[in-house]
Chain A
Amino acid sequence: MTTRRFAFILALAAPLFGQVGLDPAKLLEQPTDTWPTYHGDYSGRRFSTLKQINSSNVRTMTLAWMYHASGNPGSIKATPLEINGILYFAAPDHVWAVDARNGREIWTFKWTSKGGTHIGNRGVAVFHDWLYVETPDCHLVSLNIKDGSQRWAVPICDLDQFYYGSLAPTVVHDVLITGVSGDDLDRPGYVSGYNLETGAMKWRFYTVPQKKGDPGSETWPNEEMMKHGGGMTWQPPTYDPALNLLYITTGNPQPVIAHKNREGANLFTACVVALNPDTGKMQWYFQASPHDTHDWDATQVPVLFDADWEGQPRKMLALAARNGYFFVLDRATGKNLLSTPYVKVNWAKGVDKNGSPIPDPAKMPQLDGSLVSPNQGGATNWPPPTFSPQTGLFYVNASRAYSVYYVFDPDANPMGWGGIDEGGATLETMIEAIDYRTGKIRWVHPWQTGSRAGLMSTAGNLLFAGDGSNNVIALDATTGAILWHAGLGSSVSNGPISYELDGEQYVVVGAGETLWAFVMRSK
């Protein structure tokens, strides 16, 4: 039999064997039997509607399996996808498919690297039978999800300009959308839409103006500075199908610390920007850190939810930013509804009429040092927060720390970084449950040892988290009381996910090089 005919017969028979590809309809549902995107769904809430595991029975959840990732890949920072009983996840230069029922490896893919920063990979996107992943050496690679074989690889950035790939792509309609990483030298950030079949570029949105007269160019001193102004796009976007708006968040401006040659707000760095996903055209923006000088990108998750705002139903977007501010916006228009610090900060003199914090020039980096809080790591960082529509609370892993910001390069025309923060101390680290209506902290769970774990909330009134001493933890989402924990040998290093298979609910987390699955057995 020819391979073609064989393939044809297999295709016909596929439903009998069980489906492998992702049905695009799943992208528009709340995650139950499938966790189809980095954030679980387009909203970025990381809220699972499953409640078989809940606050009254979580203590009886058991270990289902563990999978130690092959190939010394380093920590798993990727949020796995779960599609038709198979998990797909990545680390720099590695992709794995693992049976979601028993943790058995189905295939692995190894990319031969030409370099780039190998700090982490957030995960993959899947659409029908194809998987998409970024590599540290600036490639977007498409694999067949059946066997991990490579379909194509296209360059998406220039390694020689110190860009690299780390984030999980997102599919909207027929466009594969993804950004770039890298802030070593002064280069512009961008997000692009690619053809799902070929990887050919459809559109590109530069996060900083590329010439005088472009929107935002009035916030830069000259064309040379804006063109090289940074604004990397480290975070997978979120998306509102009804408004057809894609929400991207952007990184810090360049030069990073020594900043005297880039007077102005430096748009659209450290912003939330709403784009049309089909064309890449900007609809509105909100700047979280005008003229940032502390390496505080705004590339945290722009979380979307519909809820009551002062008695009216409203479509909102909430962001707990690295600079210590919690923002709520109307996501149709970008209008700011709330700006309030969620940890004590000392760098801003209040907020302006648009709701953007006003940086205090005295607390910008200085030649003789300035003591600033948060420190460079930020009040929070890339690990994802979660929003529970049940409790109306926004949960975030927060940190309060000081460090001294120095300008090292006194030149009138600095480049690259030109300074750094040093020393200081961390005063507290904790989970905060923030009431979106007021920004008030409803409850706090302090950590002894800090945490870099992502969070997930569920309809079972649970909040899944990890501490800094290797425990995965379930808390009561309403009260913050600890209900369950398990020691994993490494600290939770990604965002937890949940899915239902064969009538049983699973929770999966990554800790170091291992994935751990817990399950509520129905019998």
Chain B
Amino acid sequence: MQRLAPFLLLFALFVGAASAHAQEYNPETAYSTFRKVCGVCHATDFSMPPRSKDQWTQTIQKMQGLGAKGSPDEFALIIEYLMRREGSVKGGGRGVQAGSADKHLVDFAAAERGRKVWAAECINCHGTQARGGPQGANLVRSEMVLHDRYGSEIIPYLKKGHPLQSGHPISSLTGENLSDVVHFIHEQVYDTLRGSPIFHQQDLLTGDAKAGAAFFNGAGGCTACHSVTGDLAKIGAKYDVPALELRIVSPRNARGPNRPRVTITVTAAGAPPVTGYPAAFDDFTVALRDAQGVYHSWARTPDVKVVKNDPFAAHDALLDKYTDKDMHDLLAYLVTLK
């Protein structure tokens, strides 16, 4: 897959909104309304964790208090847009931009009921996840299933006399049973796709804690900056295991108020050095905000010396050095610091 740049991910999420209820919800109108009303004051490409409708409503009310202008319909559309964009409802085909705009959306309660029908009447032949086996077809890859909407293809097919594992005739299942099992099958398809809510890291604690301690105190050179009784004292309690592994690999993307950040120091000829957070840094200009929040910029000429102070440079260098065993051993060790 051609990977998305972060801003495109946002765009992708926006387009993903097109997948749900295309009839009543027009993503383009929603997006342009959002840009029109909210874009007056701030960037519209922010990303936030999923929030409920109530939470978004509160935010919008706050914005109205700050002067955001729009009709009640426009604000309702914006809330709907933000909920979809920021993925307030996940799974079952929602937030999936691939595929048809009118794709089958799973009713989760129905799918749960369908799971029981599945276990009683289908599982032995078609498998736990509907991936098929010697006795039954793979339904996740079935074109009939992919073309189906709410039973349009599957139910007439089953009604022709499909076998059930109880040995009863297909007519022993009610219309609701069939519709529920259809939701269950579609859920299995969506659960197979990239970003599926059911997939996550498995057991990561395969390393040797002793070897991890030795690496930490020796070859890894970690003690130059860290101490297991100081800054990393309770690191095993601070993060869940998958997050801790990613922090060991690179803490660069962690965000928070007291985190170290990259700064630059610029010294122009005959002027005192200025240090701050980079605002722009390329081959032509360098700009920063100093501790007072004042913006400075310079053309990059030979007279302007720029020094990048990168607290994560040592961690970047570790990437060329870590073996997978080092990574797993360090994790096994640091997880014990609670």
Contacts and interface: CB of A to CB of B under 8 A. Distances in A.
Nearest to B129: A411
Given A162-B193, A382-B2, A427-B320, 19 more contacts: A113-B101, A115-B102, A116-B100, A120-B2, A158-B143, A159-B100, A182-B98, A251-B1, A344-B320, A368-B206, A369-B204, A370-B324, A373-B319, A406-B202, A411-B129, A416-B196, A420-B194, A468-B282, A469-B281
A139 interface: no
Contacts of B207: 368
B4 interface: yes
Contact of B100 (A160, A297, A411, A422): A160
Contacts of A184: 96, 98-99, 193-194
B47 to A, nearest CB: 17
A402 to B, nearest CB: 4
A425 B252 contact: yes
A359 interface: no
A444 interface: no
Contacts of B328: 368-369
Most buried by A among B103, B316, B319: B319
B316 A471 contact: no
Contacts of B57: none
Nearest to B189: A185
Interface string B192-232: 11111001111111110000000000000000000000000
Interface residues of B, number: 69
A407 interface: yes
Interface stretch (B10-18, B115-123, B166-174, B269-277): B10-18
Contact of B99 (A162, A367, A407, A468): A162
Contacts of B189: 185
Contacts of A162: 98-99, 146, 193
B192 A416 contact: yes
Interface string B314-325: 011001101110
B290 to A, nearest CB: 20
15 contacts: A72-B32, A115-B97, A137-B101, A158-B143, A184-B98, A362-B324, A366-B324, A367-B202, A402-B249, A404-B327, A408-B202, A409-B199, A415-B140, A425-B315, A425-B319
Pairs of residues from A and B, 7 with the lowest C-beta to C-beta distance, nearest first? A115-B101, A423-B246, A408-B199, A416-B192, A118-B15, A425-B250, A417-B194
Contacts of A72: 28, 31-32, 35
Nearest to B199: A408
B281 A119 contact: no
B312 interface: yes
Given A420-B194, A485-B283, A75 B18 contact: no
A422 B5 contact: no
A449 B32 contact: no
A38 interface: no
Contacts of A410: 202
A430 to B, nearest CB: 12
Contacts, number: 197
A452 interface: yes
Interface in A154-170: 158-162, 164
Most buried by A among B8, B35, B203, B252: B8
Interface string B111-142: 00000000000000000010100000010110
Interface in A140-186: 158-162, 164, 182-186
A452 B283 contact: no
A353 interface: no
B32 to A, nearest CB: 6
B98 A377 contact: no
B282 A448 contact: yes
A119 B100 contact: no
A115 B146 contact: no
The number of chain A residues touching the other chain, given as a range, is 35 or more
Interface string B73-117: 000000000000000000000001111111100000000000000
B280 interface: yes
Interface string A361-390: 010001111110100111001100000000
A109 to B, nearest CB: 16
A417 B194 CA distance: 5
B3 interface: yes
A381 B28 contact: no
Contacts of B252: 425
Given A119-B12, A449-B281, A425 B312 contact: yes
Nearest to B5: A452
B19 interface: yes
Interface string B1-45: 111110010011001001100100000100110010000000000
A413 B249 contact: no
Interface string A104-122: 0000000001111111100
B12 A160 contact: no
A512 B213 CA distance: 49
A119 B35 CA distance: 20
Contacts of A425: 249-250, 252-253, 312, 315-316, 319
B327 A449 contact: no
A417 B31 contact: no
